[in-house]
Amino acid sequence: MTATMATILNGNKVAAQIRSEVAEQVRALTAAGRRPGLAVILAGEDHASEIYVRSKIKACQEVGIHSEKITTPASLTTQELLAMVERLNQRDDIDGILVQLPLPPQVDSQQVLLAVDPEKDVDGFHPVNVGKLATQRPTLAPCTPAGVMEILLRNHIAIAGRHAVVVGRSQVVGRPMALLLLNHDATVTICHSKTIGLAEITRQADILIVAVGCAGLVTENWVKPGATVIDVGINRVTDRTKFEDLFAGDAAREKTFAEKGSVVAGDVHPRVAEVAGALTPVPGGVGPLTIAMLMENTVKACRMRRGRR
């Protein structure tokens, strides 16, 4: 084989490093009488949300953070949830508040998220924290893009002066990702569903970050040879034709597809590994970093809140 395959950027390894560092910080804070605390609100009975919340609580237990899971009936009102958030805002032993989305349809999600004290907004979604990120002030950054930065930095991938292209403009990933890259002196282009000539732009990227939720969207001819490609997408592929396009010849995934009728795929086609210099896998790339950075943000919130008093 003449082509050099991309270096695989192992998100599990980076996440384990961060969790180890967080656990050490938690031990020190706890010894000083200030154990960090995280409250997670789970409204209703969304199965995926229950799995996510369970993994967050488990991560807290592993690093020593005090955690509380608050469950509510699916019938709750916006006002009831706002009152719950306000009680958590007032509690000094809770440093982070996470409202698990999606909320039941009758609840005003925006109003609830705005009610979270910005100092306790470990998701980094509050406009106050977004503004601080944009103006390079100390803040709590959204967990997934913050995790992407850790992958880049801990793998010693040059950012300053490089052209970074972000595909996706969501408030959760795309926009904060662009700000974080700018804050590290990258030249940043943001692309989205209305971008004209998308492949021409992505081919210019030294660092390409894709977060659109479309399995295999970015193919090898979209990527500059040697580029670093970060795949944030997590998609469930159930169609056999699509599966064959992405994973033909992959015995392990074929077995999973045969047993479960689906496999997980990223936004980046596996053949990109033949062109890129470095690539995150799906699964095992960006995913593990999201919860690791939630732990990091909870400890950071604890330190920042203590530092002001």
Active site residues: 56, 100, 123
The pairing of beta strand 263-265 with beta strand 278-279: unpaired
Question: Is residue 136 left, alpha or beta, with left meaning phi > 0 and alpha meaning psi from -120 to 50?
Answer: left
Partners of 8 in beta bridges: 279
Q: Which residue has the tokens 């530092």?
A: 307
How far apart (Å, rounded) are the C-alpha atoms in residues 238 and 215? 11
Query: The dihedral of CA 158, 8, 181, 122: what is its sign?
Result: negative
DSSP string, 26-57: HHHHHHTT---EEEEEEES--HHHHHHHHHHH
How far apart (Å, rounded) are the C-alpha atoms in residues 42 and 51? 11
How far apart (Å, rounded) are the C-alpha atoms in residues 102 and 105? 8
DSSP 15: H
